């Protein structure tokens, strides 16, 4: 099978969802606190979106919900009039990272106060603006550090944590916009360790979407099907073809998903559907979106798992450390003039063993009917946080097939694959 069709999530697609941010923030001075001062609570689920932060008591199934900007001591911008500049009208947190080991949350905001632009000013929405990275303690929900990005940016800087949260990477554009820079920061002292300049033109070398993470067993980052090697001198992105090591018997299961190009060549347009613990989940669908198939790729070696090909369309998520995958059956709803295409769940959930490809258990959960997304799971994969629509949070028991609704007012739940973060404190 030939390579093609979206092996890695495109930056344009990620940017469209992640960079729904615009510009503005307030200046805040904070003294550094010890890294161990703000531990997170056990038995807690943390959710962080663009606009809201939620701390869920798992025993009580209740949530405390706060504006994300309030964690940095900031206020949401006022209602915008038609003549306000774009950066005054849509101003929020982005690039959120949770580090439960140290009890911290990291996110990015612009460095200018919201609403600073007057109605009479004409401001170019593409003009470069200063940004900052906030470090917040989860225990007291107060700022630990405010890290300034060295130069104004037209796009939101991206961040990722390394080595169990001991280092922070901040990726941003150079002043001449001809290259990208990556600062490595020691999160114990917040001293800058190094700055790497990338002039290759390969944006994946130094652009870290929210789903990007550090591979604990190797010196590289994973972003979908892209592996970014770190050697201290430069970063180098390498595409890991999810089809390259598929055995012939597994390829046969996928023949119905092959697509013929204008030149007559057949391709299998695989795309990354999620990634945990060094394993990326791959997905293909037929043209009618009535069937889909899934398998995994070990990002260090390229080794693949058996193909799972149910006779229906589904969206899937790896559970826990990647030993199981949950398929949420659904149907693709065509786009309308007021709403883009989306998947509506039927409530049928099938859980497969990744290594064997065998069905482990399945449930019919009427509570999941309609739009929804799995947000994150516990380490053992037994419990999942699930967002139904935009503002209903459910806890799924994926061992017994039970659903519990969490009490709390959510304006918009995070989408960890594209924007925001979700983690259980176990």
- Whether the predicted pLDDT of 318 surpasses 50: yes
Residue 218, classified by CB atoms within 10 Å of its CB into exposed (0-12), middle (13-18) or buried (19+), is: middle
Predicted pLDDT at 4: 41
Predicted pLDDT at 26: 28
Domain extent listing, the chain: 11-239, 248-425
- Read off the pLDDT band of 218 (50, 70, 90): confident
- Whether the predicted pLDDT of 15 surpasses 50: no
| CA 399/CA 7 separation, integer angstroms | 32
pTM comes to 0.85
- Whether the predicted pLDDT of 3 surpasses 60: no
Name the nearest CA neighbour of 328 among 311, 349, 304: 349
| Weakest mean pLDDT among 33-42, 176-185, 237-246, 251-260 | 33-42
- Read off the pLDDT band of 108 (50, 70, 90): very high
- Whether the predicted pLDDT of 264 surpasses 90: no
The tokens 């209903």 sit on which residue? 392
Predicted pLDDT at 417: 82
- What is the tens place of the pLDDT at every residue in 268-311? 999 999 999 999 999 999 999 999 999 999 999 999 999 999 99
- Label residue 420 left, alpha or beta by phi (over 0 means left) and psi (-120 to 50 means alpha): left
| Weakest mean pLDDT among 74-83, 114-123, 299-308 | 114-123
- Whether the predicted pLDDT of 126 surpasses 70: no
- What is the tens place of the pLDDT at every residue in 333-378? 887 887 777 889 999 999 999 999 999 999 999 999 999 999 999 9
Could you please state the CATH topology (level 3) that the domain comprising 248-425 is classified under: Lipocalin (2.40.128)
**Average confidence (pLDDT) over 394-419:** 91
61 in Cβ contact with 405 (< 8 Å): yes
Name the nearest CA neighbour of 306 among 295, 293, 318: 295
- Whether the predicted pLDDT of 399 surpasses 70: yes
């Amino acid at each position: 099978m030939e390579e093609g069709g979206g092996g890695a999530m495109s930056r344009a697609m990620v940017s469209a969802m992640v960079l729904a941010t615009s510009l503005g923030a307030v200046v805040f001075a904070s003294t550094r606190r010890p890294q161990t001062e703000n531990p997170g609570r056990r038995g807690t689920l943390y959710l962080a979106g663009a606009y809201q932060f939620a701390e869920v008591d798992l025993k009580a199934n209740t949530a405390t919900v706060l504006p994300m900007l309030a964690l940095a001591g900031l206020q949401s911008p006022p209602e915008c009039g038609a003549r306000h500049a774009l950066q005054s009208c849509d101003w929020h947190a982005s690039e959120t990272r949770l580090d439960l080991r140290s009890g911290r949350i990291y996110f990015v905001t612009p460095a200018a106060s919201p609403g600073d632009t007057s109605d009479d000013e004409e401001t170019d929405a593409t003009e470069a603006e200063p940004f900052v990275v906030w470090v917040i303690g989860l225990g007291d929900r107060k700022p630990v550090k405010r890290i300034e990005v060295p130069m104004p940016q037209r796009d939101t800087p991206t961040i990722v944590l390394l080595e169990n949260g001991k280092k922070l990477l901040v990726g941003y554009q150079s002043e001449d916009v001809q290259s990208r820079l990556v600062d490595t920061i020691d999160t114990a002292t917040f001293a800058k360790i190094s700055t790497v300049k990338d002039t290759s033109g390969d944006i994946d070398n130094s652009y870290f979407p929210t789903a990007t993470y550090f591979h604990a067993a190797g010196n590289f980052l994973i972003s979908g099907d892209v592996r970014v090697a770190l050697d201290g001198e430069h970063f180098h992105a390498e595409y890991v073809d999810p089809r390259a090591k598929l055995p012939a018997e597994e390829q046969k299961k996928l023949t119905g998903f092959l697509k013929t190009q204008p030149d007559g060549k057949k391709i299998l347009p695989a795309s990354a559907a999620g990634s945990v613990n060094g394993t990326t989940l791959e997905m293909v669908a037929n043209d009618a979106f009535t069937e889909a198939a899934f398998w995994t790729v070990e990002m260090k070696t390229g080794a693949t798992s058996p193909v799972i090909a149910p006779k229906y369309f589904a969206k899937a998520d790896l559970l826990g450390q990647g030993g199981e995958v949950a398929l949420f059956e659904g149907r693709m709803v065509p786009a309308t003039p007021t709403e883009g295409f989306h998947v509506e769940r039927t409530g049928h959930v099938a859980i497969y063993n990744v290594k064997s490809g065998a069905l482990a258990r399945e449930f019919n959960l009427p509570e999941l009917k309609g739009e929804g997304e799995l947000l994150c799971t516990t380490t053992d994969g037994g419990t999942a946080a699930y967002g139904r629509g935009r503002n209903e949070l459910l806890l799924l028991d994926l061992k017994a097939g039970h659903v519990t609704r969490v009490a709390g007012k959510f304006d918009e739940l995070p989408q960890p694959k594209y924007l925001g973060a979700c983690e259980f404190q176990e």
